[in-house]
């Protein structure tokens, strides 16, 4: 996850500091696949292929099996994972055209990056995560799911990070202004940052626009609901409009990627 200031205007709750809860039971991949089909159908999300749904079922089993040992998510039922993780991540591609290579900043256990990789198997996605146990989980998930073109970077993202990308997406709680500042070097001019936020994000937008107007413009602010739920979302998109000055790279070594 990227470096944070003490001020965090995000209305969404942090994933940090949660007690470790374990799943009561874990469906097999075949049963999970069938149940995912029903859940997706009931929520108007029917355009996934059988192969994509199979990968999502496989990821559910892998995530829940690891949740037995480590705390990776507060969502422990297949229905919650299907709606609040999978649909929540995949619906972004229905709202806008994503740009690749795409950096998932503060991905945690792989959201939204892994579902998006399953949706876009031929596109390059980079998962950035600063917590080492999550990094090891992501490497194992990549191998378990057989995902190619999925890079994993085990470090915090800050202005010294210069790995060039055309898009950045984040569901992390860091406020918009901090994230825009941290990806200023790696995001190419003309590229976009996609913020998956809750409905009460207006203070973040105002603060970010005031501070970073020379480099970014607010491209879109899309309000929507997860289909057939009461879960309200905002997709806030900023476009980088001018090249930013480069930091002094002698102050920080080039990051390793995996």
- Report helix, strand or coil for 230: coil
pLDDT recorded at residue 5: 43
- Report helix, strand or coil for 96: coil
pLDDT recorded at residue 14: 40
Cis omega before residue 151 (within 30°)? no
Distance of CA 236 to the CA centre of its chain: 14
Distance of CA 112 to the CA centre of its chain: 3
pLDDT recorded at residue 24: 84
Cα dist from 123 to 22, 27, 96, 99, whole Å:
33, 30, 16, 9
pLDDT recorded at residue 157: 94
pLDDT recorded at residue 258: 57
pLDDT recorded at residue 173: 86
| Opening angle at CA 237, ends 16 and 155, nearest 5 | 40
- pLDDT values of the chain reduced to their tens digit, one per residue, 258 residues: 444 443 444 333 344 445 788 988 999 999 999 999 999 999 999 999 999 999 999 999 999 999 988 899 999 999 999 999 999 999 999 999 999 999 999 999 999 999 999 999 999 999 999 999 999 999 999 999 999 999 999 999 999 999 999 999 999 889 999 999 999 999 999 999 999 999 999 999 999 988 898 999 999 999 999 999 999 999 999 999 999 887 766 555 544 455
pLDDT recorded at residue 9: 42
């Amino acid at each position: 996850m990227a470096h944070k200031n003490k001020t965090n205007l995000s209305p969404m709750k942090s994933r940090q500091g949660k007690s470790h809860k374990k799943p009561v039971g874990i469906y097999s991949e075949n049963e999970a696949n069938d149940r995912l089909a029903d859940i997706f159908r009931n929520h108007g999300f029917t355009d996934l292929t059988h192969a994509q749904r199979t990968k999502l079922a496989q990821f559910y089993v892998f995530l829940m099996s690891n949740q037995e040992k480590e705390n990776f998510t507060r969502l422990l039922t297949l229905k919650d994972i299907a709606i609040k993780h999978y649909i929540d991540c995949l619906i972004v591609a229905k709202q806008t055209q994503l740009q690749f290579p795409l950096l998932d900043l503060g991905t945690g256990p792989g959201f939204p990056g892994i579902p998006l990789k399953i949706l876009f198997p031929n596109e390059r996605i980079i998962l950035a995560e600063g917590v080492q146990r999550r990094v090891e989980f992501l490497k194992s998930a990549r191998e378990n799911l057989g995902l190619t073109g999925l890079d994993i970077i085990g470090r915090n993202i800050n202005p010294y990070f210069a790995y060039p990308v055309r898009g950045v997406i984040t569901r992390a709680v860091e406020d918009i202004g901090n994230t825009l500042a941290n990806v200023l070097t790696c995001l190419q001019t003309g590229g976009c940052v996609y913020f998956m936020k809750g409905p009460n994000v207006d203070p973040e937008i105002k603060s970010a626009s005031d501070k970073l107007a020379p480099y970014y413009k607010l491209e879109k602010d899309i309000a929507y609901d997860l289909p057939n739920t009461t879960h309200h979302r905002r997709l806030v998109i900023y476009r980088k409009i001018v090249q930013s000055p480069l930091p002094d790279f002698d102050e920080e070594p080039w990051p390793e990627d995996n």
